[in-house]
Structure 1
């Protein structure tokens, strides 16, 4: 299984640190030349690989961590996203009428033809997501929502490999609403920093 993070802002950095902590290789891409951020990826760890967007979209599982208004440009990188899982880590302040009154992830899914989309890792602030998820003898929770149970299960397994405790919330139209930010309508679980004890 291959992994990529598209977007290397605060959230992209936080995700890269999670992969580095666990020695899991992940490609990191933006729309910029990879040489422009290669020193940043190298500083995080040897398993964090600078890549072009064209290289990153070859991964099996892709974390979409760009600004919300930038995702359509990423979606154009492939004519079909069949066989890939997209993890939507974005939040948006776009008003509901701009999103066809859909949860933001359901709206985004329409742009990635054939992909299996999972909403996840977006409810934590970047500085919290960047920290070791092992906390006080427990594990930091990440919420996942998807209309594809198999994709949610795969991302749940990856979340555990990264040290988190995944909690599945159901589909995008119900569970997804709990973890999305849109306009002034904030999901009830946005920015909740929860820990589970086994």
Structure 2
């Protein structure tokens, strides 16, 4: 399985570093173009490369790691998803201040899924501060919990395996609607940092 990121900030780089350490190829992309990511991919090593958003989105599993106001633009104009997995790491913040945008009954990942037709969307990594994503998830006391929400059973199994392989302790929070509500800003799982003893 190969991986891509749409967005190449702190969260995307942290996830990419875990994937590369586990031996996976990762294509990172941002809105400014591949040339702006040369230092990043050099630091990550030979399994990391820089590409366009379309090239990153062609991967088997793609991580959406942009700020909430950029979600629509980041997903616009990409090739058909054809069942590939899109992991939504975003938080529904109207701006840099912690103000949640009003989506009605729809969760943020349902909003994302509407803008990526054909993608199997998984919500993950949004409940953790970036420092906890970047750090080694394996600790003497246990592994960092990683909550996720998803509607598709096959995507659930694939994501669970990947998260486990890179060292996290994945926890199924439910569907994009129910689990997404638990995980969104203000929900009981938001910013909950805990370890699971194996």
Instruction: After TM superposition, list the pairs within 5 Å mapping 1:78-89 onto structure 2.
Output: 78-89=78-89
Equivalent in the alignment of 1:99 = 103
Between 1:135-144 and 1:72-81, the stretch displaced more is 72-81
In structure 1, the partner of 2:9 is 9
Task: Deviation per CA, 1:112-170: give whole Å up to 9, x if none.
Answer: 01111010111110011000011114211101101112211110100011111110011
Matched, 1:134 2:123: no
Q: Report the alpha carbon displacement of residue 191 of structure 1 after superposing the two structures with TM.
A: 1.2
1:84 CA drift (Å): 1.0
2:63 alignment partner, SS class:
strand
Consecutive aligned runs of 4 or more in structure 1 exceeding 3 Å deviation: 94-98
The aligned residue for residue 112 of structure 2 is 108
**Cα distance in 2 for residues equivalent to 1:173 and 1:33:** 34
Query: Of 141, 147, 150, which aligns to 1:146?
Result: 150
- TM value normalised by structure 1: 0.91
Aligned length: 194
For residue 169 of structure 1, give the secondary structure of its aligned residue in structure 2.
strand
Counterpart secondary structure, 2:86? strand
Which residue of the partner structure matches residue 27 of structure 2?
27
1:175 counterpart (170, 173, 179): 179
Can you give the 5+ residue segments of structure 1 that lack an aligned partner in the other structure?
Answer: none
Q: 1:79 to 1:58 in 2, by over 3 A?
A: closer
CA distance in 1: counterparts of 2:50 and 2:100, whole angstroms: 35
With 46-55 and 116-125 compared, the bigger mean Cα shift is at 46-55
What is the TM-score when the length of structure 2 is the normalising length?
0.91
2: distance between equivalents of 1:96 and 1:41? 33
Contact 1:96–1:102 under 8 Å retained in 2: no
Question: 1:38: how far off?
Answer: 0.9
Task: Identify unmatched segments of 5+ residues in structure 2.
Answer: none
1:194 paired to 2:194: yes
Superposition deviation, residue 45 in structure 1 = 2.3
How far off is 1:180 after superposition?
Answer: 1.0
Mapped to 2, the partners of 1:142 and 1:116 lie a distance apart of: 19
